[in-house]
């Protein structure tokens, strides 16, 4: 069968932020001369399904298209269309969900199984919408940048684990308990209700790349001056499944064997690949 190169989209969007869509083409992994290239002359448009207003995005550099017109809004559905000569036109649709109410954020120092000090963070999540909702949270750790003359900080992602059985596992059970970069939870068991949950951060470890498991963590040396922030994302089902498969892909890559099953990255792009995913974000300083 002849290989057909398809358009690849990378775009996540949130309320009041400019549109940004990255466009490239897929390559044939069996062809050593094939390259994944960004595309600079595509026609890219966004349509607000609720109002039928439509805008065209402008190419700025290296396959990136953007617009400040008709910025995304909560509880609205948007559709992306991309056309490029020589490729099948593609479309994708997603909706920005409402943020939950986060209350009763509390912290406690705990002793980890390895004898190290840990920070337990608990909070209540009020899931007011009766729609199916999907949440992802992580821990942002900000420390002073030792080489910055202006006193800027570096943002790291904490290595966190949870005993909440309702969260979705994206690694093996043993690895998940050791820690991961982010935690996934759907409201299947508490739709429209208040939900209590918690997680633990080993306060000397963080994830280096934003998606890693315990095997890719490093030590945090400047703990005393660190600022901790809880980041809770309310995401669409498409973006939820996309990030889950990204984490699964990384875990399988780090722990691959002849018995490992290949991870298929979730996509909601018709006739192409990639993600057009919506999210809402809350960031709460907790220490």
User: Would you state the pLDDT for residue 169?
Assistant: 81
Q: Which two tokens stand for residue 193?
A: 């209700």
- What are residue 254's phi and psi, to 5 degrees? -75, -25
SS3 content of the chain, % helix, strand, coil (to 5): 10, 45, 45
Q: Which domains does the chain have, with CATH numbers?
A: 7-95 (2.60.40.10), 101-264+279-285 (no CATH)
CA nearest neighbour of 142 among 225, 235, 59: 225
Which residues of the chain fall short of a pLDDT of 70? 1, 27-36, 171-179, 206, 208-224, 252-262, 287
User: Would you state the pLDDT for residue 212?
Assistant: 45
User: Would you state the pLDDT for residue 219?
Assistant: 64
Q: Which two tokens stand for residue 47?
A: 């349509």
User: Would you state the pLDDT for residue 20?
Assistant: 98
User: Would you state the pLDDT for residue 159?
Assistant: 87
- DSSP SS3 for 247: helix
User: Would you state the pLDDT for residue 213?
Assistant: 44
Q: Are strands 64-67 and 19-25 parallel, antiparallel or unpaired?
A: antiparallel
Task: Produce one character per residue of 208-233: b if its CB has 16 or more CB atoms within 10 Å, e if not.
Answer: eeebbbbeebeebeeeeebebbbebb
User: Would you state the pLDDT for residue 72?
Assistant: 98
Q: Are strands 58-61 and 7-13 parallel, antiparallel or unpaired?
A: unpaired
Q: How many helices (H) and strands (E) does the chain have?
A: 2, 17
CA–CA distance, 186 with 1 (Å, rounded to integer):
40
């Amino acid at each position: 069968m002849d290989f057909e190169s398809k358009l690849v989209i990378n775009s996540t969007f949130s309320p009041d932020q400019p549109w940004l869509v990255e466009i490239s083409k897929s390559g044939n992994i069996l062809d050593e001369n094939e390259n994944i290239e960004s595309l600079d002359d595509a026609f890219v448009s966004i349509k607000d399904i609720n109002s039928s207003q439509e805008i065209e995005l402008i190419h700025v550099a290296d396959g990136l298209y953007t617009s400040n017109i008709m910025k995304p809004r909560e509880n609205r559905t948007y559709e992306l269309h991309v056309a490029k000569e020589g490729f099948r036109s593609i479309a994708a649709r997603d909706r920005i969900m409402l943020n939950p109410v986060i209350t009763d954020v509390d912290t406690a120092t705990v002793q980890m199984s390895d004898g190290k000090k840990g920070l337990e963070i608990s909070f209540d999540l009020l899931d007011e919408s009766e729609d199916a909702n999907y949440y992802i949270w992580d821990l942002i750790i900000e420390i002073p940048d030792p080489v910055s003359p202006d006193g800027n900080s570096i943002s790291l992602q904490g290595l966190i684990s949870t005993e909440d059985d309702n969260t979705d596992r994206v690694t093996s059970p043993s690895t998940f308990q050791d820690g991961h970069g982010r935690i996934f939870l759907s409201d299947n068991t508490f739709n429209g209700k208040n939900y209590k949950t918690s997680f633990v951060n080993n306060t000397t470890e963080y994830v280096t790349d934003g998606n890693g498991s315990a095997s890719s963590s490093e030590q945090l040396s400047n703990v005393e001056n660190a600022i901790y922030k809880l980041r809770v994302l309310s995401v669409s089902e498409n973006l939820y499944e996309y990030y889950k498969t990204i984490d699964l892909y990384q875990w399988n890559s780090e722990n691959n064997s002849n018995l490992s099953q290949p991870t298929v990255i979730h996509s909601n792009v018709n006739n192409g690949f990639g993600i057009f995913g919506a999210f809402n974000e809350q960031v709460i300083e907790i220490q």
